[in-house]
Amino acid sequence: MSKIRVAVIGVGLVGSEFIKQLLSVPGSPFQLVALTSSTRTLFSPDTPITSSWKTQLSNSTEKADVKSLTERLKALVTPTDKVVVVDNTSSDDIAALYPLWLSSGLHVITPNKKAFSGSYSLYEAILNASKSAGARFLNESTVGAGLPIISTLKDLVLTGDKVLKIEGVFSGTMSYIFNQYSTGSPGGPAFSSVVSEAREKGYTEPHPADDLNGFDVARKLTILSRTIAPSPSIDSFASVQTASLIPSALEGIPTGDEFIARLPEFDAQFDAMRKEAAQEGKVLRFVGVVDPTKGEVKAGLEKYPTTHPFATSLGGSDNIIMFHTERYSPRPLIVQGAGAGAAVTAMGVLADLFKLL
Amino acid sequence: MSKIRVAVIGVGLVGSEFIKQLLSVPGSPFQLVALTSSTRTLFSPDTPITSSWKTQLSNSTEKADVKSLTERLKALVTPTDKVVVVDNTSSDDIAALYPLWLSSGLHVITPNKKAFSGSYSLYEAILNASKSAGARFLNESTVGAGLPIISTLKDLVLTGDKVLKIEGVFSGTMSYIFNQYSTGSPGGPAFSSVVSEAREKGYTEPHPADDLNGFDVARKLTILSRTIAPSPSIDSFASVQTASLIPSALEGIPTGDEFIARLPEFDAQFDAMRKEAAQEGKVLRFVGVVDPTKGEVKAGLEKYPTTHPFATSLGGSDNIIMFHTERYSPRPLIVQGAGAGAAVTAMGVLADLFKLL
């Protein structure tokens, strides 16, 4: 049986968990041949990289050098043995290397959204490199972590179904915040206190504005939209109509602490929206919509009836995604579950790796 | 690029839809080389089979002969060209041929539950033939039709997650019946009238006992259980603890019409269950459970709170499946949507075919 050689870039929370899962595969067809942290590279195609990888990596005398690593990985490709680069970073610089890797015959698997939601020219370069070299890129974990979102969408499209609308709660952070904040009752905890609590529990970025700006959702929508059909009409995630939740007076506040300190000034605004929704028998949810029939891709706060699955079925920091298609109509295909976290993200990456077998 | 040659057995509702979808794939890597109905075989590796396949098949002078077809398909296998048999029947006889096909190097894709939920010895023969010949069998559409159920379960297991419990509404017919019958209110339409209406709409088999016996659910649970880990402990779907909904006095009634005529005699029994559930704030749902930690596989009527997704989120004849795992805990991974119908079943089969590329 042919081997698949795996080079991991990024050994943080997701990277470490991925390595752990990879090394636990029974009778593994995968061989871990390289690790790169922000400071060091370990290239070890002959000596196995084991569960003591942290020591092995810190003993490596080689500085992090992804370009030279690329050359050495390329040399490992044979007609039967595949080489895969797993990018577990969230780096734009690493994402920019995908065309190089793919055109070198290296497959790319990643939960990093940057390359697929950045400039259309980079995305096009990735598609072209993949096609011409026959190397694949797989990115299940970029949307919904380990949930089967990208694969389901690809299956729908490949088999000739027509996507009418994708609608969902794509951010675990936004899900958590609004599941707490808006339950259908006109009152409840202050918006600032829910955000502050979410931050203390580690559900938000250190600077909550990095969640409340909606960019994470806009990036995921860009990826879904391009998975349906690559089109320059979305030049990058910045082209998505995104209704940020950052009060304009708080735009550009440099630290998360300052942001949290000032957020209570705007509680009344959020309360008014919650109350209005409740009076209509609705809840507030931060959702993303891709509507190919209208050519619409947008992220923002919307109202849903308290009987809608976004109100009744969601809890914790769940994602929920509804695929409305010609075949799944009038009732959509729905996928729901934890959409963030190291274990489920790493699982999505490893599941992609199995697809290369 | 290498070709995948496809032989279709069974050209009924699902088979016809599958052929339609297959012939619509743009720039198709698939070549339809054979069709077999219950009466005829068309083997046509050189002359393309087109959208006029019904005429082509009826013009064929060859009687249906799956054994001789097998020999001819085997001869088409090359190191680069795969040959796949797509079984769109629900036949036990065809299912019994999978070990022969697989050991001949022919891949098998099917929505037919029979082989995977029948005797353990047949299932074991399939596993062994697949392993020794390196030919794959894919059966996404056996559970939930086009919904990503089997693939999701495989990904969870492959990546080392531990399945704690799978719980779901697996029968579109049972879903439809109980979504109508039990809504949380103590009263409502009579059970017999809901079943009768479902039958008129074509949601049940001609003989509703074939749905109400729960065998379809037991078969699906057997498949899921074996996908987690093959084990002789389930000798066949008959080993699943299945609480049939057929009143014992109506067991063995030969025709659907007679069955429907007598079902009202038992409305009071069902009403009592509905009322009891409503008094506890619950609804009735016919569910299947696979619990590997308890070693339990069972199908039957259960009560769920009116706030549970099985009560709030279900509609039409939707399937809903919850995967409780070590990683997806305490909140499960959920997949929901239409779990029956020719278009979505054929889609699941075609998606499996793309996985062989």
Q: What is the pLDDT of residues B234-291, one digit of tens each?
A: 999 999 999 999 999 999 999 999 999 999 999 999 999 999 999 999 999 999 999 9
Check residue A233 and give its pLDDT.
Answer: 87
Check residue A3 and give its pLDDT.
Answer: 84
Catalytic residue among B82, B220, B298, B303: B220
A331–B343 C-beta distance less than 8 A: no
CA atoms within 13 A on the CB side of B50: 4
Check residue B1 and give its pLDDT.
Answer: 56
Average pLDDT over residues B47-70: 96
For residue B85, say whether it is annotated as part of any ligand binding site: no
B151, B327, B333 ranked by CB distance to A343: nearest:
B327
User: Best of A136, A155, A310 to disrupt the B interface by mutation (most B CBs within 10 Å)?
Assistant: A155
Cα–Cα distances in angstroms (integers) from residue B318 to residues B30, B110, B145, B321, B337, in the given order: 31, 21, 11, 10, 5
For residues B180 and B317, is the Cβ–Cβ distance under 8 A?
A: no
Catalytic residue among A82, A114, A220, A303: A220
**pLDDT > 90 fraction of chain B, expressed in percent and rounded:** 96
Residues of A in contact with B141 (CB under 8 A): none
Could you give the CA distance from residue A65 to residue A43 in angstroms, rounded to a whole number? 10
Q: How confident is the model at residue A1 (pLDDT cuts 50, 70, 90)?
A: low
Could you give the CA distance from residue A37 to residue A55 in angstroms, rounded to a whole number? 12
B333–A337 C-beta distance less than 8 A: yes
Q: What is the mean pLDDT of chain B?
A: 96
Strand B82-87 versus strand B4-9 pairing type: parallel
> Where do we find the tokens 């697989």?
B102
The DSSP line for B218-239 is HHHHHHHHHHH---TTS-SGGG
Average pLDDT over residues B310-315: 91
For residue B315, say whether it is annotated as part of any ligand binding site: no
Q: What is the mean pLDDT of chain A?
A: 96
Average pLDDT over residues B96-113: 98
Name the closest residue on chain B to residue A131, using Cα atoms.
B1
Residues of A in contact with B315 (CB under 8 A): 331
**What are the boundaries of each domain within chain A?**
4-145+344-355, 149-339
Check residue B334 and give its pLDDT.
Answer: 98
Whether B74 is catalytic: no
Task: Determine the distance in angstroms separating the CA of A201 from the nearest CA of chain B, rounded to an integer.
Answer: 17
Name the closest residue on chain B to residue A343, using Cα atoms.
B327
Expressed in percent and rounded to 5, the helix, strand and coil fractions of chain B are: 45, 20, 35
- Work out the angle between the directed axes of helices B342-355 and A150-158 (0-180°, nearest 10): 110
Average pLDDT over residues B71-91: 96
Q: How confident is the model at residue B3 (pLDDT cuts 50, 70, 90)?
A: confident
For the stretch A234-279, pLDDT in tens is: 999 999 999 999 999 999 999 999 999 999 999 999 999 999 999 9
Could you give the CA distance from residue B224 to residue B229 in angstroms, rounded to a whole number? 9
Average pLDDT over residues A121-144: 98
B161, B343, B354 ranked by CB distance to A347: nearest:
B161
Could you give the CA distance from residue B281 to residue B23 in angstroms, rounded to a whole number? 50
Q: Which residues are CB-contacts of B291 (< 8 A; sequence separation ≥ 6)? A: B164, B165, B166, B297
Could you give the CA distance from residue A57 to residue A157 in angstroms, rounded to a whole number? 42
Kindly indicate whether the domain formed by A4-145+344-355 is annotated with CATH number 3.90.1150.10. Answer: no
Asked if the peptide bond before residue A330 counts as cis, ω within 30 degrees of 0, the response is yes
Average pLDDT over residues B16-39: 97
Task: Determine the distance in angstroms separating the CA of A355 from the nearest CA of chain B, rounded to an integer.
Answer: 8
Could you give the CA distance from residue B262 to residue B245 in angstroms, rounded to a whole number? 14
**pLDDT > 70 fraction of chain B, expressed in percent and rounded:** 100
* Statement: residue A2 has pLDDT above 90: no
CA atoms within 13 A on the CB side of A172: 25
Check residue B301 and give its pLDDT.
Answer: 98
Q: How confident is the model at residue B233 (pLDDT cuts 50, 70, 90)?
A: confident
Average pLDDT over residues A78-88: 95
Task: Determine the distance in angstroms separating the CA of A148 from the nearest CA of chain B, rounded to an integer.
Answer: 7
For the stretch B197-227, pLDDT in tens is: 999 999 999 999 999 999 999 999 999 999 9
The DSSP line for B249-315 is GGTT---HHHHHHHGGGGHHHHHHHHHHHHHTTEEEEEEEEEETTTTEEEEEEEEEETTSHHHHT--
B331, B337, B351 ranked by CB distance to A328: nearest:
B337
A159, A327, A336 ranked by CB distance to B334: nearest:
A336
> Where do we find the tokens 């036949």?
B91
Residues of A in contact with B179 (CB under 8 A): none
For residues B106 and B77, is the Cβ–Cβ distance under 8 A?
A: yes
For residue A335, say whether it is annotated as part of any ligand binding site: no
CATH number at A149-339: 3.30.360.10
Task: Determine the distance in angstroms separating the CA of A315 from the nearest CA of chain B, rounded to an integer.
Answer: 8
Six token digits for residue B308: 């549970």
**pLDDT > 90 fraction of chain A, expressed in percent and rounded:** 96
For the stretch A185-213, pLDDT in tens is: 999 999 999 999 999 998 999 999 999 99
Residues of A in contact with B306 (CB under 8 A): none
For the stretch A54-69, pLDDT in tens is: 999 999 999 999 999 9
ipTM over 0.90 threshold: yes
Question: What angle is formed at CA B159 by the lines to CA B157 and CA B163, rounded to 5 degrees?
Answer: 35
